[in-house]
């Protein structure tokens, strides 16, 4: 999938909302830059555990 198709795939998440072409361009630029940021954070986080939390009752006991 090329870069344009990837962006199109992300923008389908905004379907149903009438966004102006100018806004869409601004949004797309930021989405693309966010992918750069995620890649940096992924490299930074290498070796760190994945975090997940169970939503357990506060009074839980083993």
Is 8 a binding residue for another protein by CB under 8 A? The answer is no
Is 30 a binding residue for another protein by CB under 8 A? The answer is yes
Full 3-state SS string of the chain: CCHHHHHHHHHHHHCCCCCCHHHHHHHHHHHHHHHHHHHHHHHHCCCCCCCCCCCCCCCCCC
Shortest distance, CB of residue 5 to another protein, whole angstroms?
14
Q: Among residues 4, 49, 61, 62, which is the contact residue for another protein, using CB under 8 A? A: 49
Is 14 a binding residue for another protein by CB under 8 A? The answer is yes
Nearer to another protein, 13 or 62 (CB): 13
């Amino acid at each position: 999938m090329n870069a344009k198709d990837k962006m199109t795939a992300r923008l389908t998440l905004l379907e149903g909302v009438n966004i102006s072409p100018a806004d869409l361009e601004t949004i797309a630029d930021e989405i693309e830059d966010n992918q750069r940021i995620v890649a940096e954070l992924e490299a930074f986080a290498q070796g760190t555990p994945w975090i997940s939390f169970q939503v357990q009752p506060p009074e839980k006991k083993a």
